[in-house]
Structure 1
């Protein structure tokens, strides 16, 4: 399922690293729960009635091709949301078939972020909203150096793995 629009929700100014074809939307303020809800609100405002998928930037092993089959579920009747669980109990992706600012706020505001129970809390909210959820593959997101090495091992040919190898082999810098 090709993306209709590609939005990068960012606090700051994008650098040369941003590929062509991406629109930049300023990140909202507040905690991560509120910033994620604001990102869904922006997506709904810019592309009304279009599904939206938010993917964390800390899953460098993810390739677009890996999302093709699971996200084709968005075309199926009755799928309201999709959820990508992270190995640490959080989540790396959340999608809504019909996003709105109100729905995003109801789902995300007050969910404790960056805890082992984040994913479970979000799944409870999705259930309370009576949304039918399609689960995406479980991934490791990069929060620690141990995570970084695990992800690099999963995607050894990636730029991420190459940069990590370069960092690992660099001489230590004295402070």
Structure 2
């Protein structure tokens, strides 16, 4: 079976989803990131896999469900961090990010089913912004990612070209939209209204009162007092 990797950042205000601010506050952006990550992990947990690994920058929190190994991200650019994630895998592996809360096991299905690697040696999930939301490799090789320019409008094209130049037969997953901007957030929530992400967005745009989990954690960190168990 296939190893499923999720690469993510701990949802800390001011460190995640900064392109959502404005119109959202850093705390709201972090809450949206937290919800997107929880949705992503839930989808991966429901997808058949040999291993499920969260490759995390930061520390795990109450949003982490059981069944995941947690490993820290290495230092360096995103290409180095993705390469290192694949480098710890033996056998087929598929990596996704935390920016597509609309993810479902069905969307991942072609890359993880029993026939996924019969005709394909790589799987590629293009993102609407020109990047990619998923990458699968039958034989993970970190050199397939190192040096690929990341976070550019042509990142997806460059990564796909790298795969094909290596002689890999690339299968295509559906096009998805990453959540980077407020417009992205609204569009993705409309497509997946039953997600945690959509509910979190509705709460922030409605100006719901009360402190979020992220706000509580930030306040605790500032005070230096331990956070209550949840």
Matching residue of 1:13: 59
Match for 1:24 among 41, 63, 70?
Answer: 70
The alignment partner of 2:113 has SS state of helix
Match for 1:67 among 108, 111, 118?
Answer: 108
Deviations 1:23-66 (A, max 9, x none): 00110110000000001012x2xxx2x21000011000101233
Q: Gaps (5+ residues) in structure 2?
A: 1-46, 210-230
Deviations 1:107-161 (A, max 9, x none): 1111111111000000110011000000000000111111111100110111100
CA contact (8 A) 1:153 1:161 kept: yes
Q: Gaps (5+ residues) in structure 1?
A: none
Aligned equivalents of 1:76, 1:96: Cα separation in 2: 9
Aligned equivalents of 1:70, 1:38: Cα separation in 2: 20
Matching residue of 2:176: 139
CA contact (8 A) 1:74 1:80 kept: no
Rate the CA distance shift 1:74–1:90 in 2: closer, same or farther, 3 A.
Answer: farther
Rate the CA distance shift 1:73–1:150 in 2: closer, same or farther, 3 A.
Answer: farther
Confirm whether residue 166 of structure 1 aligns to residue 203 of structure 2: yes
Aligned equivalents of 2:79, 2:73: Cα separation in 1: 12
Rate the CA distance shift 1:94–1:73 in 2: closer, same or farther, 3 A.
Answer: farther
Confirm whether residue 97 of structure 1 aligns to residue 138 of structure 2: yes
Structure 1 stretches of at least 4 aligned residues deviating more than 4 Å after TM superposition: none
How many residue pairs match? The answer is 163
Aligned equivalents of 1:65, 1:11: Cα separation in 2: 27
Confirm whether residue 38 of structure 1 aligns to residue 84 of structure 2: yes
Rate the CA distance shift 1:65–1:33 in 2: closer, same or farther, 3 A.
Answer: same
Deviations 1:65-118 (A, max 9, x none): 33224533753423100000000100000010111xxx222x111111111100
Confirm whether residue 78 of structure 1 aligns to residue 119 of structure 2: yes
Rate the CA distance shift 1:135–1:169 in 2: closer, same or farther, 3 A.
Answer: same
When normalised by structure 2's length, the TM-score is 0.67
